[in-house]
Every structure is written in structure tokens, then in C-alpha cells.
Amino acid sequence: MPTPNTLGNSGIFPVSDSVIAAASARLRGGGIVAVPTETVYGLAADASNAQAVAAIYRTKGRPDFNPLIVHVADRAAAAKLALLDDRANALADAFWPGPLTLVLPLVTGARVAAAVTAGLPTIALRCPAHPAMRQLLDSCGLNLAAPSANRSGGISPTRASHVARSLGEAAPMILDGGPCSAGLESTIIALRLDGWQMLRHGPVTAVDAEAVLGQPPMPVTSARIEAPGQLASHYAPSKPLRLNALNAAADEWFIGFGDIVGDDSLSLKGDLAQAAARLFDALHIADATDRARIAVAPIPQTGIGLAIHDRLNRAASG
């Protein structure tokens, strides 16, 4: 066992060059580190190290049929793991680095632990935009498998403090890169032989992707669970959640939007991007109040509002 130093221990560390170097050493040694991205905080490990990947699953308490997203520094790193066709390259040109994950055919001999793909012939890849995550990818020289850094089924973390609260004693070293700017998990698009599918709604909308791909998405019909975003209950707070509320009962913490002010507001000016960035923080805050239930004001179902609805519906069926 390497001797732990202060930076190798758990705790929240604001990003600096020395903190990145310590995190990098930890990852190269097979450890796990909680990292900021522009979507949500991730629980990262070397994607080629089976034991490190097993530690991610253990820390999250995640059922092992859920495959993980692999974060890459650039297109060249992606091409060593997956087959990128013209459509994949066009999407990467348009949205990488950024909040888009592509599900692509896995190349034979790809250096990735079997648990990452959970036995699928495909792999989910994302090139993230957050500067601290980019610096970490460059510094460690690894591809990093990273699911959201919360206990499985819980609310996704958009601040370092959310990670600490959700993982508790199991939390590893947490790099604090500030609040996540997009605030919702990446959009997941699968490229199939006969078209493309939207496996998870997110900051890159179906309309954005269709503009690049020139055709609408195919429906997602697979009975097999490919994205836990497809599990009915996910992102769930510990309290009952009521949607489309115009007002709230005395025992409800009321999350407003636009003209409906509430106890807290996703966006007083009714801005959907701001609401997306604040959603999980607002749910974490609501969960921590002494009110027994949570109510959320109506949110328009356009643009990123669709992804907000997707997360709220799953949170409400928790």
C-alpha cells in the first residue's frame, strides 16, 4: 500500500495544480476520485483497471447491469476504444468537448475493463468540457470511467458538497471545481446501423442532434435496460415529490419557476438553462429541509425543459 498523504485522503479539495497532480497519482495507482464536469460530478477511475472499476460500483452501490460512461481527452483517445463513423465525427465536431455521450461499437482489443461495458458490444464515450476535468485527463493520461458521484438511485451531485453528503463515509478524494454549469447529466445518443436513438435527454437536445444528423431519432424500443435513466425510479429524493404544482400545502417545500416563486426557485426569470443548472441543487436543498414533502411548479416542455421533465418524472416515481 502506498503511504497516504494529505491530498490522497478523502475530503474536498479546491482544484489547483498540486491537487490535480495528487488526483492523477491516485487514479494511476488504481484509486477513485470524485471529479467536476460541466454536467454533474463523476466518480472516476482508470477505465482499463478492473479493480478500480469495481471500486466505483461498490462505492455507488450500483447494480452491475448498468454500464459506465468513459471520459476521453480527445477524439484520438475515443478512436482507440470505439468505431467513429461520419455521423459520430459530425456529432463530435458539433458538441465535443461538451455534454454529449455517444454509444458506439466497441473496437476489438479496446483497453477497457469488462465491467465498464457490462458485456455490451458498444461503449459510451464522452469528451468533457470542464477545465479541471480536462486538465486531469491530460495529466493522468488515462481514459476515466465515471458515473455520477451519488449513491445509486439518489439525486445527482452538482456541487462538491453534494458528493460528500450522498456518499458519506464512502466518499473518496473530491475535487471541487465549483457548481456544474449545465447541471443535468449528458445527453446519450446511440448510433445504430439504421439510424440513431436518444437514450437519455440532456443538455444537447434531440433538435440539436437532428440538425447535425439530418434525420429524426428512431424510437427506443429495446426491453433491455441500457441506461438507468430508463429505470422508472432514479434521481430520487427521500421524500414524496409532486409535479406541476400551482401552490403548496403547509408540509410541502415548494420549488418555483418563473412567476411562481415558492420557497426556492429554479429560475425567477423563467430561464430553462438556469433551471437545469439549479435542478439537482434545489432537490438536495428540499431533501434537507424539515418539510415532509416536495412540490415543484410547472416547467415548459421545450428545449432542455424536456430533460428537466424527464429527471423530475423519475424523481417523482421514487
CA distances from 177 to 29, 96, 149, 257 (A): 22, 20, 14, 26
Q: How far is the CB of 147 from Mg ion (least distance, A)?
A: 5
DSSP state of 209: H
Any idea which residue has 458521484 for its cell? 149
Cβ distance to ligand TXA smaller for residue 42 or 258:
42
Q: How far is the CB of 180 from ligand TXA (least distance, A)?
A: 9
Amino acid identity of residue 191, one-letter, is L
- Residue 39 contacts which entry, Mg ion, ligand TXA, none (Cβ below 5-8 A, type-dependent): ligand TXA
Give the strands of the sheet with 187-192, arranged side by side. 11-14, 173-176, 33-35, 42-46, 144-145, 69-71, 122-126, 100-105, 187-192, 195-200
Amino acid identity of residue 46, one-letter, is D
| Nearest to 104, CA basis, from 146, 63, 133, 70 | 70
Cβ distance to ligand TXA smaller for residue 43 or 295:
43
Tell me how long the chain is.
318
Burial (CB < 10 A; 0-12, 13-18, 19+), residue 42, is: buried
Q: How far is the CB of 31 from ligand TXA (least distance, A)?
A: 17
- Residue 186 contacts which entry, Mg ion, ligand TXA, none (Cβ below 5-8 A, type-dependent): ligand TXA
CA distances from 114 to 59, 70, 222, 239 (A): 18, 12, 22, 36
- Residue 129 contacts which entry, Mg ion, ligand TXA, none (Cβ below 5-8 A, type-dependent): none
- Residue 101 contacts which entry, ligand TXA, Mg ion, none (Cβ below 5-8 A, type-dependent): ligand TXA
User: Dmax over Cα atoms in the chain, in whole Å?
Assistant: 59
Cβ distance to ligand TXA smaller for residue 63 or 240:
63
Q: How far is the CB of 193 from Mg ion (least distance, A)?
A: 28
Q: How far is the CB of 123 from ligand TXA (least distance, A)?
A: 5
Cβ distance to ligand TXA smaller for residue 34 or 245:
34
- State yes or no: residue 39 binds Mg ion (CB under 5 A): no
Residues at the contact surface with ligand TXA, assessed by CB under 6 A: 37, 39-40, 42, 66-69, 101, 103, 117, 120, 122-124, 126, 146-148, 185-186, 188, 190, 199-200, 226-229
- Residue 146 contacts which entry, Mg ion, ligand TXA, none (Cβ below 5-8 A, type-dependent): ligand TXA
* Cβ–Cβ < 8 Å for 51, 200: no
Cβ distance to ligand TXA smaller for residue 180 or 295:
180
Q: How far is the CB of 43 from Mg ion (least distance, A)?
A: 10
- Residue 68 contacts which entry, ligand TXA, Mg ion, none (Cβ below 5-8 A, type-dependent): ligand TXA
Q: How far is the CB of 286 from ligand TXA (least distance, A)?
A: 21
DSSP state of 6: G
The contacts of residue 27 (CB under 8 Å, 6+ apart) are: 33, 44, 45, 46, 52, 136, 140, 142, 144
Among residue numbers 142 through 201, which ones bind Mg ion (CB under 5 A)?
148
Footprint of Mg ion (CB under 5 A): 148
